[in-house]
Structure 1
């Protein structure tokens, strides 16, 4: 059994095209296929399209529909929990992940003893330059400050063995960053490179701001470097403030007129206050993550599945 997990958010145009493309290569795959579409609170007719797809392929198409939008990470987690296959893959419905790579990915796992075959883009053609710049900067930064290595250009599109999927499911954390989790669990992994592809239909739901917040979550989830930086900056500013106070006191004793130099003192106060707020903000981000984890809220809530129909 091969389980294909497809997170969907406003993908009513893409889902039929995705199914048609995968069905074209079905004869090249010896495994039985199950599709697991996860409707992440779409605002269009994605759910209706998934219902129709289940009617068309009742033996192979399954779907989960959330009660609201919980995010792609929740959709991935739900799909992994629902998957029953010996091999499990994650793909986007917009066909930016080429289905024709699946036969080769299956061959590499079964013939060359890999646990995971991932994919990575060799270029970012069609993507705004500013987004590409920040994406590359993010991977350079996180690979320097985190213990978990993340491959630049790596996609969520990957084929995994059941053993690796079970290991991922053992990580039940609420704040999820799948690219880091896939790397953190280990296992023997090989990456296949391919040229970037445009969406076949619809528009991406990932804005620059949402990607920026996602990258911050990745850094916070897999690195303590921001806390170390905050501690270092706090200590440095404390030492600098002590030196500045000693200088001001000595100058006042020697030259008198203690009111002289008040602008510099105000600048120092503002500078130190700004550093304190910065450090508190970094610490607050980590405390916020801890707060969400301690609530033990479910990662997602399912409103409907194909069994309910």
Structure 2
């Protein structure tokens, strides 16, 4: 009788909210097994109902096989695997997983580096319950210099109410997910859209171990660079400032060459018209090409976002256990 009451008490103390955990997987066969087990342990201990969604971004290693093996050992839990048709990057893949989620709250894990204690998940969840729709877990130290440079430039030239930084995972309320989808048809950079959705956001900073950092593959590095460039153009005024600076430089150079031409005409016997004209042409075309390059980039991105770019392409969805 005592044991039965204890079990009923433990079940009663569990959270009633349904939560989803969306995990991005790309060539992570060495990490996904342990990561999935730890996440499942936290969720099983603290929540009555939950689901785990692994988004397999066309991994070329045995990541999918490892997930399937773990799925056989976990009972009483819904584990779905979203298999992307081809490599599409973390943003589109996470969008696919979030669209499949049904939880009142959704954990986003787009990084399998678990340099934090499992209790941090519940700290983030409890902060969300205290009145925040989005709560981020951010490492105190960032090991990638390129990431620090990107966020420094992004925050300087954007008008986000919440400065961006390196984050390891986050939780979103269902209201936040609905708000983001109502604001933008396509989400090229989730963090920037979240920061501008108008809802309350909090960030919990934790001490991390830099030795746990994961090295990115060539394809991932390229995708991250493309995303960084697109994000700077879409969400900051960097491109606008570059265009203005190029135009001003072109005008000053042209004005200076004009003064030099007049000076040569007045004080010298022969005006070096050929040199002056060539300089004007060079500087003029340089400025025009810079401006055109930025405009073309804007137009190509708008065409992709509005007309041609698909949200994502899924090959199949598997249910491993239920």
- TM superposition score category, shorter chain reference: 0.7 to 0.9
- Determine whether 1:36 maps to 2:49: no
Alignment match, 1:50: 67
Task: Say which of 104, 107, 111 aligns to 1:89.
Answer: 107
Alignment match, 2:269: 256
Q: Deviations over 1:138-162 (max 9, x none)?
A: 2222222212245353315111111
Q: Is residue 141–residue 207 contact of structure 2 (8 Å, CA) maintained in 1?
A: yes
Q: Is residue 154–residue 232 contact of structure 2 (8 Å, CA) maintained in 1?
A: yes
- Determine whether 1:122 maps to 2:140: yes
Alignment match, 1:103: 122
How do 1:182-197 residues align onto structure 2 when only pairs under 5 Å count?
182-197=194-209
Alignment match, 2:250: 237
Q: Deviations over 1:188-232 (max 9, x none)?
A: 121111123458697533765544333222211202341243034
User: Structure 1 residues 306 and 97 mapped into 2: Cα distance closer, same or farther (>3 Å)?
Assistant: farther
Q: Is residue 25–residue 56 contact of structure 2 (8 Å, CA) maintained in 1?
A: yes
Q: TM-score, normalised by structure 1?
A: 0.85
Q: Deviations over 1:97-155 (max 9, x none)?
A: 65331111222222x2222211112112xx3xxx42x4333222222221224535331
Classify the secondary structure of the residue corresponding to 1:159.
strand
Residue 247 of structure 1, CA deviation: 3.4
Q: Deviations over 1:30-80 (max 9, x none)?
A: 342211100111111222223333333363211100110011000111111
- Determine whether 1:4 maps to 2:17: no
Alignment match, 1:154: 166
Q: Which runs of 5+ in 1 are unaligned?
A: none
Paired positions, count: 301
Q: Which runs of 5+ in 2 are unaligned?
A: 1-17
Rounded to whole Å, the distance in 2 between the matches of 1:222 and 1:290 is 13
Alignment match, 2:227: 214
Residue 243 of structure 1, CA deviation: 4.3
- Determine whether 1:16 maps to 2:33: yes
Rounded to whole Å, the distance in 2 between the matches of 1:188 and 1:168 is 13
Rounded to whole Å, the distance in 2 between the matches of 1:201 and 1:230 is 37
Classify the secondary structure of the residue corresponding to 1:155.
coil
User: Structure 1 residues 99 and 266 mapped into 2: Cα distance closer, same or farther (>3 Å)?
Assistant: farther
Residue 250 of structure 1, CA deviation: 4.8
Rounded to whole Å, the distance in 1 between the matches of 2:59 and 2:204 is 31
